[in-house]
A and B are shown apart, each in its own frame.
With several copies, the nearest count.
Chain A
Amino acid sequence: MQTSLRRSGNIVIVDVVGDIDLHNSPRLRKTLLQTLQEAQRVVVNLEQVRYIDSSGIASLVEGLKESQSLKSRFILFGLSKAAREVLRLTRLINVFEVYETEKQALDA
Protein backbone atom coordinates (compact mmCIF):
# COMPACT_ATOMS: atom_id res chain seq x y z
CA MET A 1 0.00 0.00 0.00
CA GLN A 2 1.11 3.53 -0.85
CA THR A 3 -0.51 6.74 0.26
CA SER A 4 0.11 10.21 -1.10
CA LEU A 5 -1.40 13.56 -0.19
CA ARG A 6 -2.69 16.37 -2.39
CA ARG A 7 -3.58 19.67 -0.71
CA SER A 8 -5.87 22.42 -1.89
CA GLY A 9 -6.58 25.04 0.75
CA ASN A 10 -8.29 23.46 3.73
CA ILE A 11 -8.80 20.17 1.96
CA VAL A 12 -6.41 17.23 1.76
CA ILE A 13 -6.98 14.38 -0.67
CA VAL A 14 -5.41 11.09 0.39
CA ASP A 15 -4.76 8.78 -2.56
CA VAL A 16 -4.47 5.18 -1.41
CA VAL A 17 -3.03 2.61 -3.81
CA GLY A 18 -2.66 -1.15 -3.46
CA ASP A 19 -3.54 -3.69 -0.79
CA ILE A 20 -4.52 -2.66 2.75
CA ASP A 21 -4.07 -5.44 5.30
CA LEU A 22 -2.75 -6.13 8.79
CA HIS A 23 0.76 -5.35 7.60
CA ASN A 24 0.11 -1.79 6.54
CA SER A 25 -3.22 -0.67 8.03
CA PRO A 26 -1.40 0.87 11.05
CA ARG A 27 0.41 3.10 8.57
CA LEU A 28 -2.88 4.09 6.92
CA ARG A 29 -4.37 4.86 10.33
CA LYS A 30 -1.45 7.11 11.23
CA THR A 31 -1.61 8.96 7.92
CA LEU A 32 -5.35 9.56 8.30
CA LEU A 33 -5.16 10.74 11.92
CA GLN A 34 -2.24 13.05 11.18
CA THR A 35 -3.91 14.49 8.12
CA LEU A 36 -7.06 15.17 10.13
CA GLN A 37 -4.99 17.36 12.46
CA GLU A 38 -4.01 19.53 9.53
CA ALA A 39 -7.09 19.81 7.35
CA GLN A 40 -10.74 20.80 7.77
CA ARG A 41 -11.73 18.18 5.23
CA VAL A 42 -9.99 14.90 4.48
CA VAL A 43 -11.03 13.18 1.28
CA VAL A 44 -9.87 9.60 0.80
CA ASN A 45 -9.52 8.23 -2.72
CA LEU A 46 -10.12 4.46 -2.73
CA GLU A 47 -10.18 3.95 -6.51
CA GLN A 48 -6.85 2.15 -6.60
CA VAL A 49 -7.44 -0.04 -3.56
CA ARG A 50 -7.14 -3.56 -4.92
CA TYR A 51 -7.74 -5.13 -1.52
CA ILE A 52 -8.86 -4.01 1.93
CA ASP A 53 -9.54 -6.17 4.98
CA SER A 54 -11.18 -5.48 8.33
CA SER A 55 -8.02 -3.90 9.73
CA GLY A 56 -8.11 -1.38 6.88
CA ILE A 57 -11.79 -0.73 7.49
CA ALA A 58 -10.95 -0.24 11.17
CA SER A 59 -8.45 2.47 10.18
CA LEU A 60 -11.15 4.24 8.18
CA VAL A 61 -13.55 4.01 11.13
CA GLU A 62 -10.91 5.56 13.34
CA GLY A 63 -10.52 8.39 10.87
CA LEU A 64 -14.27 8.93 10.89
CA LYS A 65 -14.41 8.98 14.71
CA GLU A 66 -11.53 11.41 14.92
CA SER A 67 -13.18 13.73 12.40
CA GLN A 68 -16.38 13.64 14.44
CA SER A 69 -14.58 14.66 17.61
CA LEU A 70 -12.67 17.38 15.70
CA LYS A 71 -15.89 18.53 13.99
CA SER A 72 -14.15 18.26 10.63
CA ARG A 73 -15.17 16.18 7.63
CA PHE A 74 -13.99 12.76 6.54
CA ILE A 75 -15.12 11.69 3.06
CA LEU A 76 -14.53 8.62 0.92
CA PHE A 77 -14.78 8.49 -2.86
CA GLY A 78 -14.16 6.20 -5.81
CA LEU A 79 -14.72 2.97 -3.93
CA SER A 80 -13.10 0.07 -5.75
CA LYS A 81 -15.09 -3.16 -5.93
CA ALA A 82 -12.99 -4.57 -3.11
CA ALA A 83 -13.60 -1.55 -0.86
CA ARG A 84 -17.31 -1.44 -1.64
CA GLU A 85 -17.78 -5.14 -0.93
CA VAL A 86 -16.05 -5.03 2.46
CA LEU A 87 -17.93 -1.90 3.52
CA ARG A 88 -21.17 -3.67 2.57
CA LEU A 89 -20.26 -6.87 4.45
CA THR A 90 -19.47 -4.88 7.57
CA ARG A 91 -22.61 -2.74 7.09
CA LEU A 92 -20.51 0.38 7.35
CA ILE A 93 -21.07 1.78 3.88
CA ASN A 94 -23.85 4.10 5.06
CA VAL A 95 -21.91 5.25 8.09
CA PHE A 96 -19.41 7.05 5.88
CA GLU A 97 -19.95 10.01 3.61
CA VAL A 98 -19.28 8.36 0.23
CA TYR A 99 -19.15 9.87 -3.28
CA GLU A 100 -18.50 8.46 -6.70
CA THR A 101 -16.03 11.00 -8.00
CA GLU A 102 -13.38 13.34 -6.68
CA LYS A 103 -15.32 16.34 -7.96
CA GLN A 104 -18.43 15.30 -6.04
CA ALA A 105 -16.36 14.73 -2.91
CA LEU A 106 -14.78 18.19 -3.18
CA ASP A 107 -18.03 19.99 -4.00
CA ALA A 108 -20.06 18.28 -1.30
Chain B
Amino acid sequence: MGLSLKLVLSSDPRLLGAVRGAVRELASGAGFAEEDCRAITLAVDEALTNIIRHAYDNRPDESVELTCRSLENGLEFILRDRGRPVDPAKVCARSLEAVTPGGLGTHIIRQIMDQVCYEPLPDGNQLRLVKYVNKS
Protein backbone atom coordinates (compact mmCIF):
# COMPACT_ATOMS: atom_id res chain seq x y z
CA MET B 1 0.00 0.00 0.00
CA GLY B 2 1.21 3.47 -0.81
CA LEU B 3 2.10 5.85 1.99
CA SER B 4 0.64 9.31 2.10
CA LEU B 5 1.52 12.24 4.31
CA LYS B 6 -0.08 15.64 3.91
CA LEU B 7 1.37 18.77 5.49
CA VAL B 8 -0.71 21.90 5.78
CA LEU B 9 1.31 24.90 6.80
CA SER B 10 1.27 28.63 6.90
CA SER B 11 3.55 30.33 4.40
CA ASP B 12 6.09 31.15 7.09
CA PRO B 13 9.79 30.52 6.42
CA ARG B 14 10.20 29.40 10.03
CA LEU B 15 8.33 26.21 9.12
CA LEU B 16 10.71 25.20 6.34
CA GLY B 17 12.96 23.30 8.74
CA ALA B 18 10.10 21.11 9.96
CA VAL B 19 9.02 20.33 6.40
CA ARG B 20 12.59 19.40 5.52
CA GLY B 21 12.73 17.13 8.54
CA ALA B 22 9.68 15.23 7.32
CA VAL B 23 10.78 15.07 3.68
CA ARG B 24 14.29 13.89 4.55
CA GLU B 25 12.95 10.98 6.60
CA LEU B 26 10.36 10.07 3.99
CA ALA B 27 13.04 9.93 1.32
CA SER B 28 15.28 7.85 3.50
CA GLY B 29 12.41 5.47 4.31
CA ALA B 30 11.62 5.22 0.58
CA GLY B 31 15.07 3.79 -0.06
CA PHE B 32 16.89 6.77 -1.52
CA ALA B 33 20.62 7.07 -0.93
CA GLU B 34 21.79 9.78 1.44
CA GLU B 35 22.81 12.18 -1.31
CA ASP B 36 19.44 11.77 -3.02
CA CYS B 37 17.66 12.36 0.30
CA ARG B 38 19.51 15.66 0.61
CA ALA B 39 18.70 16.57 -2.98
CA ILE B 40 14.99 15.74 -2.69
CA THR B 41 14.77 17.73 0.53
CA LEU B 42 16.41 20.67 -1.24
CA ALA B 43 14.06 20.52 -4.22
CA VAL B 44 10.92 20.48 -2.06
CA ASP B 45 12.29 23.30 0.09
CA GLU B 46 13.04 25.38 -3.02
CA ALA B 47 9.50 24.79 -4.28
CA LEU B 48 8.04 25.92 -0.96
CA THR B 49 10.38 28.90 -0.81
CA ASN B 50 9.16 29.97 -4.24
CA ILE B 51 5.52 29.74 -3.16
CA ILE B 52 6.25 31.86 -0.10
CA ARG B 53 8.22 34.46 -2.07
CA HIS B 54 6.43 34.59 -5.40
CA ALA B 55 2.92 33.20 -5.01
CA TYR B 56 2.39 34.93 -1.66
CA ASP B 57 4.86 37.84 -1.84
CA ASN B 58 6.33 36.84 1.52
CA ARG B 59 3.04 37.10 3.39
CA PRO B 60 3.54 34.56 6.17
CA ASP B 61 -0.10 33.81 7.01
CA GLU B 62 -1.29 32.21 3.79
CA SER B 63 -1.79 28.47 3.45
CA VAL B 64 0.29 25.89 1.59
CA GLU B 65 -0.43 22.19 1.20
CA LEU B 66 2.26 19.63 0.57
CA THR B 67 1.14 16.07 -0.13
CA CYS B 68 3.84 13.40 -0.17
CA ARG B 69 3.06 10.01 -1.63
CA SER B 70 5.15 6.92 -2.08
CA LEU B 71 5.13 5.43 -5.57
CA GLU B 72 6.17 1.92 -6.40
CA ASN B 73 9.60 3.21 -7.35
CA GLY B 74 9.87 6.68 -5.93
CA LEU B 75 8.21 9.61 -4.27
CA GLU B 76 5.68 12.18 -5.45
CA PHE B 77 5.24 15.65 -3.95
CA ILE B 78 2.26 17.85 -4.74
CA LEU B 79 2.36 21.47 -3.60
CA ARG B 80 -0.74 23.62 -3.67
CA ASP B 81 -1.23 27.29 -2.99
CA ARG B 82 -3.88 29.92 -3.60
CA GLY B 83 -1.56 32.73 -4.56
CA ARG B 84 -0.38 34.43 -7.72
CA PRO B 85 0.02 32.08 -10.69
CA VAL B 86 3.43 31.08 -11.99
CA ASP B 87 4.57 32.77 -15.18
CA PRO B 88 6.07 29.83 -17.11
CA ALA B 89 8.36 32.19 -18.98
CA LYS B 90 10.12 33.00 -15.70
CA VAL B 91 10.83 29.42 -14.68
CA CYS B 92 14.47 28.50 -15.39
CA ALA B 93 14.67 31.77 -17.31
CA ARG B 94 18.19 32.82 -16.41
CA SER B 95 21.33 31.16 -17.66
CA LEU B 96 23.41 29.35 -15.08
CA GLU B 97 26.51 30.84 -16.72
CA ALA B 98 25.92 34.29 -15.27
CA VAL B 99 26.97 34.90 -11.68
CA THR B 100 23.96 36.53 -10.04
CA PRO B 101 22.33 35.78 -6.74
CA GLY B 102 18.77 35.14 -8.00
CA GLY B 103 17.00 32.71 -10.28
CA LEU B 104 18.61 29.53 -8.96
CA GLY B 105 15.66 27.77 -7.32
CA THR B 106 13.81 26.55 -10.39
CA HIS B 107 17.06 25.27 -11.92
CA ILE B 108 17.78 23.31 -8.76
CA ILE B 109 14.31 21.78 -8.79
CA ARG B 110 14.56 20.70 -12.43
CA GLN B 111 18.01 19.26 -12.03
CA ILE B 112 17.01 17.14 -9.05
CA MET B 113 13.52 15.95 -9.88
CA ASP B 114 12.53 13.55 -12.65
CA GLN B 115 9.18 15.22 -13.19
CA VAL B 116 8.39 18.90 -12.59
CA CYS B 117 4.95 20.00 -13.59
CA TYR B 118 3.44 23.43 -12.88
CA GLU B 119 -0.33 23.42 -13.29
CA PRO B 120 -2.93 26.14 -12.71
CA LEU B 121 -5.96 25.06 -10.63
CA PRO B 122 -9.36 26.77 -10.57
CA ASP B 123 -8.53 28.21 -7.16
CA GLY B 124 -4.77 28.36 -7.14
CA ASN B 125 -1.64 26.62 -8.33
CA GLN B 126 -0.20 23.16 -8.22
CA LEU B 127 3.34 21.93 -8.59
CA ARG B 128 3.93 18.22 -8.97
CA LEU B 129 7.38 16.79 -8.38
CA VAL B 130 8.40 13.17 -8.84
CA LYS B 131 11.69 11.50 -8.05
CA TYR B 132 12.40 7.88 -8.93
CA VAL B 133 14.72 5.63 -7.00
CA ASN B 134 17.86 4.54 -8.87
CA LYS B 135 17.46 6.84 -11.80
CA SER B 136 19.88 9.70 -12.03
Contacts and interface: CB of A to CB of B under 8 A. Distances in A.
A interface majority secondary structure = helix
Interface residues of A, number: 24
B interface majority secondary structure = helix
Given A51-B41, A54-B46, A22 B107 contact: no
B123 interface: no
Nearest to A54: B104
A55 B108 CA distance: 12
Interface of A: 19, 21-23, 51, 53-55, 57-59, 61-62, 64-65, 81-82, 85-86, 89-92, 95
Interface of B: 13-14, 16-17, 20, 35, 38-39, 41-42, 45-46, 49, 52-53, 96-97, 99-102, 104-105, 107-108, 111-112
10 contacts: A21-B17, A23-B17, A51-B20, A53-B108, A54-B49, A57-B104, A58-B104, A85-B38, A86-B42, A89-B112
Ranked nearest first, the 10 interchain pairs of A and B with the lowest CB-CB distance are: A58-B101, A23-B13, A54-B104, A61-B101, A22-B13, A54-B105, A22-B49, A91-B96, A21-B16, A90-B104
